[in-house]
């Protein structure tokens, strides 16, 4: 199906090289897409960005295939013009979530061809039953090593993988998660490569409206119950890495999750903060947050780790403030109380 590059697949997967060729072949420019003759395209593109900012999802569809195909490059252009790293990351995550949802329902041959032809990942289809598991793919070992560092769950560790010689077997969900990561990184790369683009004057007001949506959303997330400035030194260091889009180890994520829950941030708010991580998996993070909150499984809500646990995992900085308080959560409440005064 992908080999024929039907317009349906170009709309479903707008990052395909064939989609770029299709758009260029039509001789359509960004200025054309912003004209009245392409009003449906511009409206869908703006809505893609709005949905990404608000819900971290891009599920709006057009009945006209051409409109949907053309809305993607225009949406990327709009995000580039806004020039906000938070919006860029949120849009990239939304597009990757959209793509993964489609790939889960598409045949394995589509997943294989996109992996090989678009991202040069040597993924091979198979049907191999091993115990209770039905594996759909095996992956070239060097390619596995290049992506495994982005996934923090134990099932991705090489020691836990069943192998065909040295090639790990993958479930379809795992293969799709690898492609989801690639789509996110590719979308961010496209946005970064187009950095410095100046928007037409008539777009200024609409771009400002999109940007203001982010400000409102950010203010809604970090209520006066949560003060980043009051975070203890090590917790703040982990938090800053996460906000900066850098990978943090598993125990550091658990530390932040339990900390956020104990200062009364909601699961949605925590999910939004964690979406900045490069390997962010919306469904897995939602599950883990619920487990830590005591809503999933037969466990109680987890307490935030104390300084001793942080020290054991190499996450504690020795400071005068920390030495007087055994638990970072107590240091936070003490500092936030001072701020309120």
- Note the pLDDT of residue 327: 66
**Ramachandran region, residue 40 (left: φ > 0; alpha: ψ -120 to 50; beta: rest):** alpha
What's the CA gap between 244 and 68, in Å, rounded? 32
pLDDT at position 324, please?
Answer: 52
Instruction: Note down pLDDT in tens along the chain; length 341 residues.
Output: 444 457 778 888 988 888 888 888 888 888 888 888 888 888 898 889 888 888 777 876 667 888 889 999 899 999 998 888 888 888 998 899 899 989 999 999 999 999 999 999 999 999 888 877 889 999 999 999 998 888 877 788 888 888 888 899 999 999 999 999 999 999 998 888 876 667 777 777 777 777 777 544 444 444 435 677 777 777 888 888 887 777 788 888 888 888 888 877 888 888 878 877 777 777 778 878 887 877 766 556 777 777 777 777 777 555 544 545 556 666 666 554 444 44
Backbone φ and ψ for 272, nearest 5 degrees, come out as -65, -40
- Yes or no: say if 275 and 85 are a contact pair by the CB < 8 Å rule: no
Q: What pLDDT digit, counting tens, does each position of 308-317 carry? A: 777 777 775 5
Task: Give the 3-state DSSP-derived string for the chain, with helices as H, strands as E and coil as C.
Answer: CCCCCCHHHHHHCCCCHHHHHHHHHCCCCHHHHCCHHHHHHHHHHHHHHHHHHHHCCCCCCCCCHHHHHHHHHHHHHHHHHHCCHHHHHHHHHHHHHHHHHHHHHCCHHHHHHHHHHHCCCCEEEEEEEECCEEEEEEECHHHHHHHHCCCCCHHHCHHHCCEECCEEEECHHHHHHHHHHHHHHHHHHHHHHCCCCCCCHHHHHHHHHHHHHHHHHHHHHCCCCCCHHHCCHHHHHHHHHHHCCCCCCHHHHHHHHHHHHHCCCCHHHHHHHHCCCCCCCHHHHHHHHHHHCCCCCCCCCCCCCCHHHHHHCCCCCCCHHHHCCCCHHHHHHHHHHHHHC
Per-residue confidence (pLDDT) for residue 179, from 0 to 100: 95
Tokens, residue 196: 């410095």
Contact 52, 213 (CB under 8 A): no
User: Are 277 and 245 contacting, i.e. CB atoms less than 8 angstroms apart?
Assistant: yes
Output the CA torsion 187→189→194→195 (10° steps): 110
> Which pLDDT belongs to residue 187?
92
> In this predicted structure, what is the pLDDT of residue 243?
77
**What is the CA 187 to chain-centroid distance, rounded?**
11
Is 78 within 8 Å of 46 (Cβ atoms)? yes
Q: State the Cα–Cα distance between residues 111 and 285, nearest whole angstrom.
A: 23
């Amino acid at each position: 199906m992908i080999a024929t590059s039907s317009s349906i697949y170009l709309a479903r997967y707008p990052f395909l090289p064939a989609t770029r060729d299709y758009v260029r072949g039509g001789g359509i420019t960004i200025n054309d897409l912003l004209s009245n003759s392409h009003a449906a395209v511009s409206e869908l593109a703006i809505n893609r960005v709005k949905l990404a900012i608000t819900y971290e999802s891009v599920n709006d569809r057009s009945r006209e295939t051409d409109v949907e195909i053309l809305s993607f490059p225009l949406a990327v252009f709009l995000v580039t013009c806004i020039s906000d790293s938070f919006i860029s990351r949120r849009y990239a995550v939304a597009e990757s979530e959209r793509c993964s949802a489609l790939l889960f329902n598409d045949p394995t041959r589509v997943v294989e061809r996109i992996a090989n032809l678009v991202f040069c990942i040597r993924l091979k289809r198979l049907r191999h039953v091993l115990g209770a598991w039905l594996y759909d793919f095996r992956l070239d070992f060097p390619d596995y090593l290049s992506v495994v560092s982005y996934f923090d769950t134990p099932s991705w560790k090489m020691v836990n993988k069943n192998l065909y010689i040295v090639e790990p077997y993958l479930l379809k969900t795992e293969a799709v998660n690898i492609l989801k990561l690639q789509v996110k990184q590719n979308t961010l790369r496209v946005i970064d490569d187009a950095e410095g683009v100046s928007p037409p004057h008539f777009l200024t007001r609409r771009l400002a409206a999109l940007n203001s949506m982010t400000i409102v959303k950010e203010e809604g997330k970090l209520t006066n119950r949560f003060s980043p400035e009051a975070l203890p030194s090590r917790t703040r260091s982990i938090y800053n890495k996460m906000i900066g889009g850098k990978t943090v180890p598993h125990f550091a994520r658990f530390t932040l999750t339990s900390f956020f829950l104990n200062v009364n941030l909601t699961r949605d708010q925590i999910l939004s903060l964690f979406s900045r991580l490069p390997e962010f998996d919306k469904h897995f993070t939602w599950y883990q947050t619920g487990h830590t909150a005591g809503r999933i499984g037969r466990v109680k809500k987890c307490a935030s780790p104390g300084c001793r646990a942080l020290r054991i995992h190499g996450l504690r900085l020795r400071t005068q403030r920390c030495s007087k308080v055994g638990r970072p959560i107590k240091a936070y409440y003490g500092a936030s109380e001072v701020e309120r005064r």
